[in-house]
Every structure is written in C-alpha cells, then in structure tokens.
Amino acid sequence: MNAKKRIVPLLILQLEALLRRLSHLHPKRKQIEDDLSMMWSGYNGELLLDYDLRFLPYRSYQILHDVRLQVFGKCFQIDTLVLSPYAAFIIEAKNYAGTIVFDEESETFIQLVRGKKKTMKDPLIQVTRQQKQLEEWLRHNAGIHGYPVIPMVAICNPSTIVTPPKNHSQTWPIMNSIHTVDQIQQNNELYKNRKPVDIELIKNKIILADTPLEQDLLKKYSINPSDVKLGVQCPECGHLHMTYIRRRWDCSECGHRSSVAHIKALADYFLLFKNTITNRECRILLGCSERLAYHFLSKLGLRNSGKTSGRKYYAPENVRDFLSYVESSK
C-alpha cells in the first residue's frame, strides 16, 4: 500500500551537514538550527500520521509520501497523498498544541494553549492550494477529470483537541490524526457511486513525474563557501581534522580511529557543494595525498568520466547510503 515510502528529507541531511561544518560563532547558525528543528518537528508529525494510516485497508488504497510535481511551470509538494479508486486525499500533518476552534462569527481559527487565545493562520489554505494544483496536474498529465481530491489536515499531537463548528458537515477537514482513517473512509463512501479510476496508473504517473527538490543551501543562506570547514570529522567527538595514519583516520582529540570517516566527508561535500568531485577537490577536502584520494575514490566504486586530472567522480545515486554506512561502521 505504501507506494512511495517516507524517508528523511534531503534538506534535513543537508542542514545537518552544514551545521557539522560551520563555526559555532557563525551568524547564520541560529537560523539554520531553527530551520532544522522545524523540519524535524514536521517530519516527526508525518511519521505519527503514517502510524495512524496503517489502519487503512491496504487493498483499496495507495499511499505516496513526499511527492513533488509540476504544473504550468510551478512546483508543488504534497507530504502525504492517499489514493482510492473513488477519490484522492491530500493530508497535511500539523503539530499544533492545545485546542483548535473555528470561530464561526469571525470565520477564523483560534488556538487555545494554557489559557491563552491566539488567532491562527487558516491551516486549510496550503492544502486547498495543493488540491487545486493536483486536480490540474491530473487533468493535464493523466487525462483524469472529475476525480475528487479532498484536502485534510491531521493534527498529530494526540492531546490536542479539535473543535469543529457546530453545524459542520460530517466530513470536517481538520481532525486529530487518530481519526484520519475513519474520515478517509467516510469520504470515500460518499463517492462510491462514481466510476472508479485506475489508481495503479495514477500512482505510476506520479512516481515517474516526481522530482525531489535539490537546494543549494549555501546560496539559500548566503553562506560563503570558504566558511564551510573542510576535513574528515571524527564520528565520536566531532573534531574536524582527523589524519590518516596506518590505514585508519586518527582523531588527535579523543584518540578514536576509523577506516570509513572519509565517506561521511564525501557525503557532506555532495550535499553541500556539487554532485561531482575530482581527485584535487578530494585531496583538499580530506587533507590527504593524491595517491590516497585516488585510492578512496576508486574503492567507493563511484561512476566517473574523463581521464587523469580531469576525471570527475559522481555522487552516489543515494547519498543516504554513504551516511548510513558510516553510522553502521562506527
């Protein structure tokens, strides 16, 4: 049923790589730390939603995570998309605390936390925009017309209370995450008299068109590349200048020795700079000899092109494999 699984977003890996290599006194550090913490909070909320979605009957639904599509030159990202033969459901996970109330008089959302009342930004705005974009995308890319796309907001904090307006329809689109499956099924029932669509076809078209966002973080935060510290980082204490002695990277700070620490440095390079590296760039990054750089790059089996000093080695298909390999070899 999980047609496209959720994985830690590339942006989180990039932000973590940047923080590993930026001075603790760097003026942009606080902003990057805040952005990273927000990204983790969002991701964890999505994981909680995934947990609740396990209860959907797997034969009748397809779930796609982190889908990024383009319509009329504009990209849009959907964190969770559930497909049934009768309707699609776009679900936005939110980590709101307290009580969420829709005030009918002012037509605004109010959040009550520890006795304090504040007006909220309408949580449906974003997901409703995505609904329109997906409908448009389906029309132009899959020739599918009139397939209902339902926007929903799932509040992932289990202690948060959601109070719908008094005369709301049964399918109020904001709910605690635990009620998401019921809500999807109730909505689905409403459309069962329609002609079913081929969700395998839609799923395959979406997966084919999905283009994950690749961001140049240094540009985004206006960080001078020379502010990014180079070197091989100690997996134990974080010291950034390990030296290669007797076939191991050696940490002068804590004495830790590692045979794979350079792989994480290469992953950081690909995450932060570009998706190719030459022997010279590798030497500067790792602080090692030409012969050693050749040895490391060849041993990793990276695809390469060009000859002698112009040879470029390409980033692996999935840089996550590099990071997890180093983690598992600690």
Interface residues with Zn ion (CB under 5 A) are 234, 236-237, 239, 251, 253-254, 256
Q: Could you tell me the smallest distance in angstroms from the CB atom of residue 238 to Zn ion? A: 7
DSSP string, 263-300: HHHHHHHHHHT-SEEEHHHHHHHHT--HHHHHHHHHHT
Determine the length of the chain: 330
C-alpha angle with apex 67: 65 to 69, nearest 5 degrees?
165
Nearer to Zn ion, 101 or 234 (CB): 234
List beta partners, residue 242. none
244 three-state secondary structure? strand
Nearer to Zn ion, 65 or 262 (CB): 262
177 three-state secondary structure? helix
Nearer to Zn ion, 125 or 237 (CB): 237
Q: Could you tell me the smallest distance in angstroms from the CB atom of residue 234 to Zn ion? A: 3
DSSP state of 231: S
Helices and strands per DSSP (H, E), number in the chain = 10, 16
Q: Could you tell me the smallest distance in angstroms from the CB atom of residue 263 to Zn ion? A: 16
Nearer to Zn ion, 90 or 232 (CB): 232
Q: Could you tell me the smallest distance in angstroms from the CB atom of residue 329 to Zn ion? A: 15
Q: Could you tell me the smallest distance in angstroms from the CB atom of residue 13 to Zn ion? A: 22
Nearest to 60 by CA among 82, 78, 77, 84: 84
Nearer to Zn ion, 61 or 249 (CB): 249
List beta partners, residue 244. 249
